[in-house]
Amino acid sequence: MCGVPRPSQSVTNGVDTLERMTGSGTEMPTRYEAGAVEPRWADSWIERGYFHAQVPDDPSRAYCIVIPPPNVTGRLHVGHALGRTLEDILVRRARMRGLEALWVPGMDHAGIATQVVVERELRKEGTEPRDLGREAFVERVWAWKERYGGEIIGQLKRMGASLDWDRERFTMDEGLVGAVRVAFVRWYEQGLIYRGERLVNWCPTDQTGLSDSEVEHEEVDGELLTFRYPLSDGTGHVEVATTRVETMLGDTGIAVHPDDERYRDLVGGTVRHPFDGRDLPIVADGAVDPTFGTGAVKVTPAHDPTDFEIAQRAGLPLLNILDAEARINQNAAEEFYGLGRYDARQAVREELEKLDLFVSVEHPYRHSVGHCYRCHSEIEPWMSGLQWFVAVDGLKGRATEAAMDGRITFWPERWRKAYVSWLDGLRDWNISRQLWWGHRIPAWYCPDGHVTVSLEDPDACAACGSAEIEQDPDVLDTWFSSQLWPFSTLGWPDETPELGAFYPNAVLVTGYEILYLWVARMIMSGMSLAGDIPFRDVVIHGLVRDAHGRKMSKSLGNVIDPVEIFDLYGADALRFSLARLATGGQQDIPLSVDSIQGGRNFANKIWNAARLVLEALPGGEPQLPPDERLTAPQRWLLARHQHCVAEVNASLDRYEFAAAAQAMYRFFWSEYCDWGLEMEKERLRSDDPAVAEDAAKVLAWILERTLRLLHPVMPFVTEEIWQRFGIGETIVRAPWPEAEEYAGHEVLGSDAEATWPFVEELVTTVRRFRSEHGIPSKTRVELRLVGRETGAARYAGFESEVMRLAGASDISVVTAGDATGSARLLVQGETVLVPVGELIDLDAERERLQKRLTEADEGRARSEAKLANAGFRDKAPEDVVLAEKLKVERFEREAESFREQLAELG
RNA sequence: GGGCGCGUAGCUCAGCGGGAGAGCGCUUGCUUCACACGCAAGAGGUCGGAGGUUCAAAACCUCCCGCGCCCACCA
């Protein structure tokens, strides 16, 4: 055993392995200290290679999830913890089921995002990134990646994520660089990638183009300004409206709707630009909405996508009046040159007012403006030269079909619709980024303008042989490499054994915010390049917010740092809390410290229940006693446990994590601890060693299986306890409890389950009675069930438990109702006499009875009203009607009893 | 302009055709030999509003009112 880590040492205060293995002499502190236990297990699991997956011979034994690679921009936040927790639950369960469960770790280079944070850091040091030069800058980013990549790995390990670290990948590692190259070249050769000059979404701050998906539209209060263009022939004016009046410097035409009577005669004519005297043609175009504004539109082809298209159709020239930083360039009238776009807006307006061309302004005017998803600057539609695009029409079809025909299932299902309709409206994807950090576009240009795209870096132009070739300075959109993640991490384009076994992946878990940016593109590229769906299931979860549903942000000061939580409450606590909140129905997930404390309390509850059971366990593998020795409460608990197993499995099969967590919580706390342990305690301390041993065995057996059930959600505390059973090396690879197993015990427990409701209500009713009368817990009362001899069947097998839990000295059945001096409690319609004599306060008793009487009367009235309805009697199912009739009888009996008692009390 | 989600106990949310639930918070008892990160008992909801379907609606349909989100080239 030399050198085997013993993660539990700190908690057991040095109890040695042998003692732990035999279960004797185990000291468990009264509180579970997650912070001391978890880091040891986290390391130990990895050291022992438990998370390493082999490539199975039988592909049906393969189960694979790839981590949504976190950006190397910085440390992980609780949002990441949610997704990783859900994935870990799935992977750990699959692993326990005996599958080769591979969870691929890795990170994303996150082109623009990382470049921005590194630039910011450099500027803080007083260095202008552009001065550094490309090579040195990229080196700096790699250094950044090493630092934060390491921190992210540390965080993931600490939270217990069972990733196969032997297979860690990075979107810019050697293999993935190759995969990106192959993908680009293949699509280029298929005509799915092309180079073109188009308006792109330009971020003037980050100085790069963006795809449509990277632009966030937001409603802002702007202004709608109307001004006049004089007709060139001096016969009048045309009024146009705009929210960005500075763009009029780049106007090259006026457009009206072809059917618009008002302008029919003007089409073909021109207006004169007031600042530089250019004549702008008036053209007709169907894209113009004649009902908006004046029905005439100024056309700025170089700075508006609609205008660009109009210009293409009408043959209007492009006039680019902005530079890369969105300042007015030399193409505009001289007096505006060099102005920023917002200053220019003001200056143009003033100039128009001077020339008496200003008509009116509407302010505030609410309209939608695109912003950069990284830096939030306003996006400028801009001509930035030739850029590379992916022609999505060649990819959409198969990606849509895969979701429509059920090969890919979305959970919850509603996201499928969102996905399909997004694909439907998708336009070509701009993949050129004017950045330094990323995959360099594998295209080379010679002085004659030939383009060479190739797998290997070329020495000469493929068309003319010129050796004077230069590579495209741009890099690819970061999502271009991310989209290959499900297969590139498995070795694609090589046909590796991993790719053969683990592709398609089983499931992808991610937040809805990257459904389009990432998920949709993985499906498109997976279908096209890897020849199959990338994953069978897509699980979409909400975004983690603070306790009141607000976004977590540094400025609000409500950010929860996962590691802080791990240290304070434990990773298990956070994991359980997140799982319990992950309902799927709602869009976002409010996480509060209270909720995490709830998880911590649960871990502590498990720990303490285990303390009790393990102290009593004689040692060895927990085995059930023979069926005939099982008591009714034991059979009941077994049956409840089995229901819990079934419920958890059914929930997880549907990715209903909250329901699964809730089922475990309810079973363990409310049934196993509150009732099960409380009932068994007596037997555990029995003088008869056989009785005590049986009780311990039953409790231990159920506990051990429950630990396995809980393990995927709370890996640490379950492992820590499970070790003490001494039945194996690790719970990580212990078998997963299936619903079908031990079905026999369910049957075995059915009699006890049928008895249970009466037993539970009897105990609760007596407890309530005692509480209402302040009867001290040490005072024993007698319980007499009024009825025939068979009345005892109502609590058969639970006699001693009822007595102990209700604080009774005796329980019996009496045939006649000698009720003198007794309180009469009603339990499921049966009368239970409690001889109390002077014990009770008569006023309190009157109050109690009056309250119960009201409840009974109300209940009866409800049921009678239902039965009075002929439609109900005729049309409702028989059993429902019968149940209603029984209710009336019961309420009647109860009410009668309460009235009698009240009368007796006077 | 389209589409989606949500309005249920003070808070955060389950439930989605047959007598209103959980956690937290609150009240009252418990130094009960696993756990006060606990135990027991309790208070607290015209299930956003109005119609409709049904014997029966928190749940299904329609409309309305409030939140929130996504998509979209109306200047």
pLDDT of residue A618: 65
- Tokens (6 digits) for A508: 């992808």
Residue A462: band (very low, low, confident or very high) from pLDDT cuts 50, 70, 90: confident
CA of A756 to C1' of B11 (A): 34
* Shortest-distance nucleotide from A298 CA to C1': B75
**Residue listed under structure tokens 């990638």:** A193
On the question of pLDDT at A619 being above 80, the answer is no
Distance CA A381, CA A332 (A): 17
pLDDT tens-place string over residues A399-419 = 999 999 889 999 988 899 889
* Lowest mean pLDDT across A267-271, A363-367, A673-677: A363-367
A368 CB-side CA count, 13 A: 4
On the question of pLDDT at A352 being above 50, the answer is yes
pLDDT of residue A801: 94
Residue A744: band (very low, low, confident or very high) from pLDDT cuts 50, 70, 90: low
Across A461-566, the runs of DSSP E, i.e. the strands, are: 470-471, 475-476, 505-511, 535-541, 543-545
- Strand B close to A738 by CB, under 7 A: no
* Shortest-distance nucleotide from A241 CA to C1': B75
Beta bridge partners of A226: A241, A360
Rounded mean pLDDT of A280-289?
A: 87
The conformation of residue A440, written as its DSSP 8-state character, comes to B
Distance CA A860, CA A894 (A): 10
Name A29's Cβ contacts closer than 8 Å, sequence gap at least 6.
A11, A13
Under 8 Å between Cβ of A288 and A335: no
Phi-psi region of A807 (alpha: psi -120 to 50; beta: other; left: phi over 0): left
On the question of pLDDT at A5 being above 80, the answer is no
- Strand B close to A879 by CB, under 7 A: no
- Strand B close to A522 by CB, under 7 A: no
- CA A293 from chain centre, in angstroms, equals 44
pLDDT of residue A711: 97
On the question of pLDDT at A598 being above 50, the answer is yes
CA of A416 to C1' of B16 (A): 21
- Strand B close to A768 by CB, under 7 A: yes
Residue in A719, A538, A577, A601 with CA at minimum distance from that of residue A657: A577
Residue in A625, A622, A630 with CA at minimum distance from that of residue A702: A622
Which range has highest mean pLDDT (A188-202, A544-558, A834-848)?
A188-202
Q: Give the three-class secondary structure for A667.
A: helix
Residue in A866, A847, A846, A856 with CA at minimum distance from that of residue A892: A856
- Strand B close to A586 by CB, under 7 A: yes
Rounded mean pLDDT of A239-265?
A: 88
Strands A409-411 and A588-590: unpaired
- CA A750 from chain centre, in angstroms, equals 38
Distance CA A731, CA A428 (A): 50
- Tokens (6 digits) for A110: 């996150």
Helix (H) or strand (E) holding A239: strand A237-242
pLDDT of residue A315: 87
User: Is A372 exposed, middle or buried, given 0-12, 13-18 or 19+ CB atoms closer than 10 A?
Assistant: buried
On the question of pLDDT at A838 being above 80, the answer is no
Beta bridge partners of A340: A327
Distance CA A655, CA A509 (A): 10
On the question of pLDDT at A51 being above 50, the answer is yes
pLDDT of residue A586: 67
Return the higher-pLDDT residue of A610 and A276. A610
On the question of pLDDT at A726 being above 50, the answer is yes
pLDDT of residue A26: 55
- Let me know how many helices (H) and strands (E) chain A has, helices first: 30, 29
- Strand B close to A443 by CB, under 7 A: no
Rounded mean pLDDT of A441-452?
A: 93
Distance CA A864, CA A867 (A): 5
Under 8 Å between Cβ of A604 and A30: no
* Shortest-distance nucleotide from A601 CA to C1': B37
On the question of pLDDT at A116 being above 50, the answer is yes
pLDDT tens-place string over residues A479-519 = 999 999 999 999 999 999 999 999 999 999 999 888 888 99
- Strand B close to A212 by CB, under 7 A: yes
Under 8 Å between Cβ of A675 and A691: no
pLDDT of residue A603: 96
Q: What is the CA radius of gyration of chain A?
A: 37
- Tokens (6 digits) for A598: 């709830």
Name A97's Cβ contacts closer than 8 Å, sequence gap at least 6.
A735, A736
Closest amino acid to nucleotide B24 (CA–C1'): A594
Distance CA A798, CA A812 (A): 12
Name A805's Cβ contacts closer than 8 Å, sequence gap at least 6.
A678, A679, A763, A767
pLDDT of residue A898: 86
On the question of pLDDT at A10 being above 70, the answer is no
- Strand B close to A117 by CB, under 7 A: no
Residue A742: band (very low, low, confident or very high) from pLDDT cuts 50, 70, 90: low
Q: Which of residues 306-345 of A touch strand B (CB under 7 A)?
A: 306
Across A300-357, the runs of DSSP E, i.e. the strands, are: none
Return the higher-pLDDT residue of A768 and A815. A768
Residue A802: band (very low, low, confident or very high) from pLDDT cuts 50, 70, 90: very high
* Shortest-distance nucleotide from A240 CA to C1': B75
CA of A720 to C1' of B28 (A): 38
- CA A623 from chain centre, in angstroms, equals 39
What ipTM was reported for this prediction?
0.95
Residue A53: band (very low, low, confident or very high) from pLDDT cuts 50, 70, 90: very high
Residues in chain A: 906
- Strand B close to A878 by CB, under 7 A: no
On the question of pLDDT at A864 being above 50, the answer is yes
On the question of pLDDT at A843 being above 90, the answer is no
* Lowest mean pLDDT across A18-22, A304-308, A665-669: A18-22
Residue in A650, A665, A642 with CA at minimum distance from that of residue A579: A665
Residue A292: band (very low, low, confident or very high) from pLDDT cuts 50, 70, 90: confident
Residue in A222, A237, A235 with CA at minimum distance from that of residue A359: A237
Distance CA A739, CA A866 (A): 39
Residue in A667, A755, A650, A739 with CA at minimum distance from that of residue A706: A667
pLDDT tens-place string over residues A372-403 = 888 888 888 988 888 999 999 989 999 999 99
The conformation of residue A338, written as its DSSP 8-state character, comes to T
User: Is A447 exposed, middle or buried, given 0-12, 13-18 or 19+ CB atoms closer than 10 A?
Assistant: exposed
How large is the angle between the packed helices A134-158 and A111-124, nearest 10 degrees? 110
Q: Which of residues 220-249 of A touch strand B (CB under 7 A)?
A: 224, 240-244
Can the peptide bond before residue A504 be classed as cis, meaning omega within 30 degrees of 0?
A: yes
CA of A857 to C1' of B48 (A): 31
Under 8 Å between Cβ of A573 and A85: no
Residue A19: band (very low, low, confident or very high) from pLDDT cuts 50, 70, 90: very low
Distances (CA, A) of A49 to A52, A752, A899: 5, 44, 71
Closest amino acid to nucleotide B73 (CA–C1'): A306
A767 CB-side CA count, 13 A: 11
Name A868's Cβ contacts closer than 8 Å, sequence gap at least 6.
none
CA of A404 to C1' of B5 (A): 22
Rounded mean pLDDT of A417-442?
A: 91
Under 8 Å between Cβ of A758 and A752: no
pLDDT of residue A375: 83
Distance CA A845, CA A775 (A): 12
Distance CA A782, CA A601 (A): 36
pLDDT of residue A817: 64
Distance CA A283, CA A288 (A): 10
CA of A693 to C1' of B41 (A): 33
Mean pLDDT, chain A, integer: 88
Under 8 Å between Cβ of A105 and A65: no
- Strand B close to A295 by CB, under 7 A: yes
The conformation of residue A674, written as its DSSP 8-state character, comes to I
Nucleotides of B under 7 A from a protein CB: 3-6, 11-16, 18-19, 22-25, 28-30, 32, 34-42, 54-56, 68-75
- Tokens (6 digits) for A211: 């795809």
Cα A459–A465–A467 angle (5° rounding)?
45
pLDDT tens-place string over residues A254-264 = 988 888 888 88
Distance CA A649, CA A92 (A): 13
Rounded mean pLDDT of A297-321?
A: 88
On the question of pLDDT at A21 being above 60, the answer is no
Distance CA A552, CA A79 (A): 9
On the question of pLDDT at A4 being above 60, the answer is no
Rounded mean pLDDT of A173-195?
A: 95
Q: How much is the pTM?
A: 0.91
- Strand B close to A686 by CB, under 7 A: no
pLDDT of residue A750: 82
Residue in A254, A197, A206, A201 with CA at minimum distance from that of residue A227: A254
On the question of pLDDT at A453 being above 50, the answer is yes
* Shortest-distance nucleotide from A513 CA to C1': B70
Rounded mean pLDDT of A443-458?
A: 92
Strands A215-230 and A237-242: antiparallel
> Percent of chain A at pLDDT above 70?
95
* Lowest mean pLDDT across A13-17, A364-368, A662-666, A832-836: A13-17
Which range has highest mean pLDDT (A88-102, A236-250, A324-338, A387-401)?
A88-102
The conformation of residue A340, written as its DSSP 8-state character, comes to B
* Lowest mean pLDDT across A264-268, A404-408, A547-551: A547-551
